[in-house]
A and B are shown apart, each in its own frame.
Chain A
Amino acid sequence: MKRYFQYLREYRLQCILGALSKWIEAALELLVPLVMANIIDKGVTGGRGISYVLWGGAVMLAMGAIGFGCAIFCQRTASIASQGFGTNVRNALFRHINTLSQRELDKVGAASLLTRTVNDVNQMQSAVAMIIRLVVRSPFIAICSVVICLILDWQIGLVVFAASVAVSAVLWVIMKKSVPLYTRNQKNLDRLTQITGENLEGARVVRAFQSRDKERARFDNAADVTLENSLRIGKISAWLNPLTYALINFGVALILFWSGYKVDTGSGLTSGEIIAIINYMTQILNALIVISNLVSLFTKAHASMNRVSEIFDLKSSVKDGGESVADFSAPAVEMNGVSFSYAGDDRYTLNGISMCIPSGATVGIIGGTGSGKSTLVNLLPRLYDVTEGELKIFGHDVRDYSLLELRKLIGVVPQNAGLFSGTVRSNLQWGKDDATDEDYEKALKTACAYDFVMEKGGLDQPVFESGKNFSGGQRQRLTIARAVVGNPKILILDDSCSALDFATDAALRANIASLKGVTTFLVSQRASSLHNADVIFVMEDGKIVGRGRHEELYGTCDLYTEICDSQARSAK
């Protein structure tokens, strides 16, 4: 919890003043019944007359007005402080997420990171607002009401106290019972959402298999479970208001009986005071209900805080490196006994990989799904760090470069090509933000993307979220252009031509081969795409099972031969 104070620090003053003014309002509100009791006891029964009554009225109005002013001030400061707190936490969290490496991001998952940044921080924010606005007020009113009643008459005050305790107990029990039911309700709703979603997404399958009735029965089932649980929640929560109301007012009835005796024996209890006590009972009830709502709000906020803290606690497993400068006369990539495991244990995804790639070479990597191809190329820009072994780029260990420099050296086209909303230009700017239009156009031409970009509307053609307004093949070519525009020394294409037809694929490879001094890694499922590579690595289960040119491998490496043959079979 402590770490979050820093985000509230600049609003210290608002918090203190806000809480203070709320406290003044509560105190004034507590005094009102006492003033009224005075009006009745002194003005009416005591015979001080109309002028006393009018004075009392003026005091009450003044107190109301001052209280109102205080409350308004408090709401304003609380809004500013809590929204500011939320803003600070959100910014810090998003910044922190941006320092994490792929390993941590994989572990938490994108959807979860998003909910934590948006929803969980909002929960914490409203908790801060409620602390300033209500935590001072409600318990103060509840406790002081009881104390004042005890002062007015300690025996009757005890009745008030007992009633308050009983109400608190009821609130506690009802909350305790209903919370698990609410959790279950959420699960039930998720199930309904899931079935509905499946019937939308799988509408064709449902119809093709004539499963309308089956799906209806499935939904009915889930809907019935939901209904049953809701009814149980309803039955329990319907107790809340009647029980608390009855407890408080039985207290009032008891007080009336008792006051009868007290007034009769002349123990000093006045009718004004009785009215005041009844009034306090109502105040206590309202305050306690607010407190019970606060408790559930804070339970939620606390859970949210823990989820956010989990993210803050993650530290990037990829540490920023030193200040080495690339030595372009050295081999582009050297690997010596590189092993890698996602979990950090002995379940290796890559095992004992060694290679030495001279600058300017074209490298092909082929193998089945899960053979470790993508993992291998992900090690170069340090999306992950090697678990064992040595990985050198241009003569230095990758960890000796600053991350910024290293990633400038390497242009990557990831497997599932992602574009970002904006324009074609803004997407290319990711590769190099100070490039000229000629640079961008050149990159587009290299990536065989120039024609369709110009046809669509040029560099300023809008790009929708994740590039929805481009076809799969167009997206792939744009991400290639994005990687090429920064003039990287090493270019990695991770299965990024899968949606291209053979002709475009070939043209693109020719363009890339003509780039001077660029070392290229081509990861592919298609043997034909790698035909002209200077060296092909055949991967299986995280190991290299064959290396060499196509002619050398075909016929000697069983797996490679099998892949080529199966693809040729379907191609003949």
Chain B
Amino acid sequence: MKGQKMKRNLVRRLLQYIRPYKFYVVCSFILSLLYVGFVLVGPVLYGQAIDAMIGAGAVDFRTVFITAGGFAVCVLMAGLSQKLLGNCVNSLCYKLVCDLRREAFYSLSAAKIRYIDSHSQGDVMTRIINDVDVISDGLLQGASQLFTGVITILITLVVMFVINYVIALVVVVLTPLSLFVASFITKGTFRSFSKQVAVQGQLAAHAKEMIDGQKTVILFNEQENSCKKFEEIDARLYEVGWRAQYFSALTNPSTRFVNAVIYAAVGVLGAIFCILSSESGGVIHLGSLVLGGFTVGKLSVFLSYANQYTKPFNEVSNVVTQLQSAFASASRVFEVIDEEGERTDGDCHLASVKGDIRIEHACFSYSKDTKLIEDLNVSVKAGSKVAIVGPTGCGKTTLINLLMRFYDLDAGKIYIDGVDAKKIPLDEYRKMFGMVLQDSFLAEESIAWNIAYGNENATRAEIEAAAKAAYCDFFIRNTENGYDTVLRGNRSLSQGEKQLLCIARVMLSDPPMLILDEATSNIDTMTEMRIQRAFKKIMTGRTSFIVAHRLSTILDADLILVMNRGAVIEQGTHAELMEKRGFYYNLYNSQFSN
């Protein structure tokens, strides 16, 4: 019941998206009616033409001309309407796909960070790219196939009943055979394909793991074991794979066989009726039944229909599975579209920001059952440098998440220059901060584009100035196309160079407050020194939070926040904290001295 209701809702929503393209929908309906009509009238006309060719010297040329000509016209009209129908359905499909993708992406770009953090990227991408295609394939192509299929079946039946209802009845009785076969095969195929997909996934997973780690495989002489495991999975894939293939390959021969049976039945019955009808002069006596005359031409109509008859049936049964997956995809896409966005409103506009920050009684946790930050209180004066230290997992990243308002506090408040952060519009709020994270993200666009990311109006001269200030200029000039080099897959630059680019990006946007994350490892000494210098340069005169891994950073900090298990357990300057001989003292001795 619930499923039914959900489906109805889905249909209603999809109809909303289709509404702007009503015109195409209406045209599609009319055109498919025309198309099917013209296609099915054709055989009736040439049947009459055949009946007009009675024998040598007795051909009724007038009828032959009219019917054969009429047939040609029908063909032309059917072709034309099919082409137009194709255009309509395609336009509708592709435009809908574009709309849905756009809407899903819009929702994504405003979604809460919590949503993005808690969903697998691959899954969300599949929804926006593949699922949308499934909707258009299944729903629109499917619906239009269903519609033409059903009309074809109906018109065929009507014409057949009008010409000769006995033969028509025989056809109707044989029809379920085709439906039965089709549904049997569909079910079997689905089952064996699910098995195949599972094993194929295992195979790909093993191959990926081994190929990615091939160096280690070689070093530990593990080639043979790795191959054996691969062959073992592959052997299982063979077993399920050929069966899945076999099942899906049954469709065509079975359809052809059902067709052959119907064709033979129609042929034999029709021929017998022709004989009976010519013996008794234009009427057929079947016991007490009296049927109208039957001719070779009429037989040819039946034969032609019988040849094409099972095709729409197969299509219709395919459409059912197509529709099911389309609905599944639609609900996945709508989930993205319906995702609640960040609250961006606020009515406090700060004209100029000094950079005083106060956090009062802040509480926060990612999930309800595990507490993280509780009653956090920090007060930072404008222009000071705050170092955050603590062991891994102590909540440093969480603090950044809260400061940037990537996540909302469960309780408590953050004040900027004495103003409640929540009252400042989100975009204006974030504009006050510059952020350089360890694995800061760069897009697959040109280097200049990436530096100017926060500042679209920046001129090339400003971009280069920022790059020079962040010590990027020399390595940018060494890349293939300098500032116009496109960063492919982020492989072209080293970790450290990327971080320098991010610093340049922040320099260009010139924010009053900063959040920096020092790099921990895998950066060579020279680059490391440049980053340190760039950090120093950018921090002057700005309130800055810096996640510290280095002594130089914490020693000259105005305030050190020592975090452990989500709480700031000590705060003060280096000298004050050393005097305390507490947690910081121990941390300092184990981590920073050697």
Contact = CB atoms under 8 A, between A and B. Distances in A.
Of the listed residues B218, B303, B555, the one surrounded by the most CB atoms of chain A closer than 10 A to its CB is: B218
B129 A192 contact: yes
Interface in A416-443: 418, 420-421, 430-431
B524 A231 contact: no
Given A99-B223, A239-B83, A256 B300 contact: no
Given A208-B404, A231-B91, A282-B307, A383 B218 contact: yes
A192 B111 CA distance: 18
B205 interface: yes
23 contacts: A39-B268, A40-B274, A57-B264, A67-B256, A67-B260, A68-B253, A87-B237, A110-B211, A117-B207, A192-B129, A196-B108, A202-B441, A216-B105, A234-B91, A238-B87, A246-B79, A279-B303, A282-B304, A369-B524, A407-B220, A430-B222, A499-B521, A506-B594
A250 B72 contact: yes
A259 B53 contact: yes
A414 B215 contact: yes
Interface residues of A, number: 153
Given A87-B235, A214-B456, A204 B437 contact: yes
B453 A211 contact: yes
Interface string A59-70: 011011101100
Contacts of B93: 234
B522 A525 contact: yes
A471 B215 contact: no
A73 B91 CA distance: 42
A64 B264 CA distance: 9
A223 B102 contact: yes
B15 interface: no
Secondary structure class of chain A's binding surface, majority of residues: helix
B492 interface: no
Contacts of A242: 78-80, 82-83, 86
A78 B250 CA distance: 12
Contacts of A75: 246, 249-250, 253
B14 interface: no
A330 interface: no
A570 B552 contact: yes
Interface string A184-199: 0000010011111111
Contacts of B208: 110, 114
Interface in A20-62: 25, 29, 32, 36, 39-40, 43-45, 49-50, 53-54, 56-57, 60-61
A566 B525 contact: yes
Interface stretch (B168-176, B526-534, B568-576): B526-534
Given A50-B275, A61-B264, A220 B249 contact: no
Contacts of A98: 214, 217, 223, 226-227
B221 A404 contact: yes
A248 to B, nearest CB: 9
Given A110-B211, A257-B68, A278 B444 contact: no
Contacts of A260: 49, 52-53, 59, 61, 64-65, 68
Contact of B594 (A113, A193, A212, A528): A528
A261 B505 CA distance: 84
Contact of A275 (B50, B110, B222, B591): B50
Given A67-B256, A414-B216, A567-B525, A114 B453 contact: no
Interface string B53-91: 111111101001101110110011011101100110011
Nearest 6 CB-CB pairings of A with B: A238-B86, A234-B90, A266-B56, A64-B260, A57-B268, A202-B441
B440 interface: yes
B75 A249 contact: yes
Interface string A267-278: 000011011001
A226 interface: yes
Given A242-B86, A563-B525, 19 more contacts: A36-B303, A56-B268, A57-B268, A60-B267, A80-B246, A83-B238, A129-B249, A192-B129, A263-B59, A264-B57, A271-B53, A271-B296, A275-B299, A279-B304, A370-B524, A420-B213, A502-B590, A571-B551, A572-B551
A430 B69 CA distance: 80
A486 B222 CA distance: 13
Contact of A245 (B53, B75, B274): B75
A72 interface: yes
B220 A430 contact: yes
Interface in B297-345: 297, 299-300, 303-304, 307-308, 342
A230 interface: yes
Contacts of B509: 209
Interface stretch (A89-97, A355-363, A387-395): A89-97
A431 B42 contact: no
A480 B6 CA distance: 54
A569 B52 CA distance: 106
A278 B46 CA distance: 10
Contact of B521 (A193, A200, A271, A525): A525
Contacts of B524: 368-370, 525
Contacts of B111: 203
Contacts of B214: 97-98, 102, 105, 110
A60 to B, nearest CB: 4
Contacts of A60: 260, 263-264, 267-268
A272 B271 CA distance: 11
A210 interface: yes
A207 interface: yes
A243 interface: yes
A391 to B, nearest CB: 17
